[in-house]
Structure 1
């Protein structure tokens, strides 16, 4: 009797409430097989998140994606240290960054064309995002009552975001200064999860981590 193929164990570790609630929606809506760890993060520092990822991998997870905002890292003048930390990570731990924050990914759902523009803070993006998501704020109450994540996917919004993000990442990949435009690598994570879903999240799938190239 043949054994049932083992499933790949994937963890996504976010900085805070926004990341947790967004990926919880994505997991349910797109029927992805991954775990959100921890249930609700208490610390947003990348050192804590990397440590949590290493702990999960030591307990049997095949891969851990760390979803991080770059604005805090830049504000604390710790970019060089962050780069060094990323370079020391094992292949199983993948940093997925957004500059300045995850809200640029939300905004990409509404861009008619890719925009090579710098938003240097959450507040700068929030002003523009209010055009499409009235009253947007980083609170559990807003996320639970606004239907924000459903609104993001209206009118093929996710496909739009994937295309916009992909074009910006490709353009920045040709340049030495990746901070000449705001960007989000969440598109890479979504496409990776789609690939895993197509392979039914089989643990021995060869079409996996080694093909994923991120900025850090």
Structure 2
């Protein structure tokens, strides 16, 4: 997977390629999908739950430029694979899942391969996880139309948020960096992702 999919896709960060070589992707997918674990496709791992393709995830993690002493919040995905990859690079990871069943499954999968720096929690994805903020990095494993203010407020000064903006089925990854009270955005590569619940653009109020 790394040699045929990841490296040819402009992923040059050796920490990312090493992490994806070390972590067995099949440990984070349902048994029915095990034979597809290393295909470069997004996998539907549950109702309204999509795991990003390995290439898209690798490029998103590379874009975040995670440091060894960083505390990272990984949101969505439902499989825990992204959190496991990030955990090979960062100091600590909070994996925020939409329900306790998913959180328990992610915690179990991490234990099964001796990952001890991931804390799996359940909550509303768009609200983030205040208990352990601020975060140096927030990785949103999925599509967004807008970044909720709650997530922006949980970034440390200098912190980075990466996600995939989607509109009418099209998408592109972007980096949002916090500097003081300001946020600087940089759009990068094209990518597809399923829109996460709670990350829709605010709808204008109807006026009579």
TM-score w.r.t. length of structure 1: 0.28
Give the greater-gyration-radius structure (CA).
1
Higher helix content, 1 or 2: 1
TM-score w.r.t. length of structure 2: 0.29
Higher strand content, 1 or 2: 2
Between 1 and 2, higher relative CO (CA 8 Å, sep ≥ 6) is seen in: 1
